[in-house]
Structure 1
Amino acid sequence: MFTEFLTGAALLSASLVAPGDVGWSLWPSEVAPGGEMHVETYAAQGNGCNPAGPVTSPGFAAPIPWPLGGNWGHHGGTGTAATRPGTYTATFPCTDGRVATATFTVAGTPPSSVTPRPSSPSKPRPTTTPVPEQDQPQVSVRPAGAPQTGGGGLAVSFTE
């Protein structure tokens, strides 16, 4: 029963990927700037492959390596998205020569291509000389004592 389930799952995952395409996952498909990205492929299932290098993209802070491994030829990794909003393509090479690609979006509004005008120079701030600590006035503080705290006695309640 379990073997039939695994075989069915492998066939289903293979049917969701076009022939020649690499079956792999890159998620989330929309990420906040600087957010966490995940990659995963299963070389032994469907159209997965053994990675021949890290996943690269201009939308990543750094390439994502494949440090995770496991059953069914599992390879996985985690990385960080770039901070510049936009839609990006991520790729990695397979040991069989194929190249895997996927797109994702770093959410936000991309910066405008118009360069802002430089602002007028601001007036310089007047410099102040700090007052030495011994010349600063003492701040008077009234300590809290018994009248504010109720004298510190225990409250006892008797009921009949």
Structure 2
Amino acid sequence: MLEKTLIGVMVAGAATLTLVAPASAAGEVSWGLTAQVEPGGRIDAETHAAIGNGCSPRTAVTSKGFAAPLQFTEGGNWGRAGGHTTAIKTPGKYTATFTCSDGRVATGTFTILGTPPPTTTTKPKPTTTKPKPPTSTSAKPAKPVKPQVAVKPAGAPQTGDGSLS
């Protein structure tokens, strides 16, 4: 009789798990990601596979805001998986994603603090310079400049004779 009861409990438990598993697999992944970071600062992420809608990560967390992908290198209680990476130095809002072992894709956002660079799409105008005319060795050389002739005074009254009259 005890065997039949245990088998019944196991079957009921398995049926409950099959009904609950698809519902949690369809939901968003519950995970933590640093919300704000200084340029070049440390970004942390973690998820707990055994709590709520957490999951076991299959891939690293990737983002254009990361200097390198965030690898889940730490473990812990409740199926914890965590890791760290470094933010790039360009301020702005970025999206980070990773894939769970059950196929769900986890997405989160974070902000690198500071003023983002302008997002204008204007192209700088090219500068144009007029080419210099080519110099030719066959061109006529410039005429030499004649030296200036000194003006000579006409006589003693114009130059003074040196007396103190």
- Give deviations 1:110-135, integer Å, cap 9, x for gaps: 122356789xxxxxxxxxxxxxxxxx
Provide closer, same or farther for how the CA distance between residues 84 and 116 of structure 1 changes in structure 2, counting only shifts above 3 A. farther
Structure 2 Cα separation of the partners of residues 26 and 115 of structure 1: 36
Aligned partner of 1:30 in structure 2 is 36
Structure 2 Cα separation of the partners of residues 117 and 74 of structure 1: 54
Equivalent position to 1:21, from 28, 31, 36: 28
Secondary structure of residue in 2 paired with 1:108: coil
Structure 1 Cα separation of the partners of residues 100 and 32 of structure 2: 14
Equivalent position to 2:77, from 67, 71, 80: 71
Secondary structure of residue in 2 paired with 1:72: helix
Whether 2:95 is the aligned partner of 1:89: answer yes
Aligned partner of 1:145 in structure 2 is none
How far apart are residue 71 of structure 1 and its match? 1.2
How far apart are residue 53 of structure 1 and its match? 0.6
| Higher Rg of the two aligned structures | 2
How far apart are residue 99 of structure 1 and its match? 0.3
Equivalent position to 1:98, from 94, 97, 104: 104
Provide closer, same or farther for how the CA distance between residues 101 and 115 of structure 1 changes in structure 2, counting only shifts above 3 A. same
TM-score (norm 2): 0.57
- Give deviations 1:35-93, integer Å, cap 9, x for gaps: 10000000011100000010000011110000000111000001101111111110000
Structure 2 Cα separation of the partners of residues 30 and 69 of structure 1: 24
In structure 1, stretches of 5+ residues that fail to align are 1-16, 119-160
Equivalent position to 2:49, from 22, 32, 43: 43
With 78-87 and 105-114 compared, the bigger mean Cα shift is at: 105-114
Structure 1 Cα separation of the partners of residues 48 and 117 of structure 2: 37
Secondary structure of residue in 1 paired with 2:81: strand
Secondary structure of residue in 2 paired with 1:96: coil
TM-score (norm 1): 0.58
In structure 2, stretches of 5+ residues that fail to align are 1-23, 127-165
How far apart are residue 100 of structure 1 and its match? 0.3
Identity of aligned residues (%): 57
User: How many residues are treated as equivalent by the alignment?
Assistant: 101
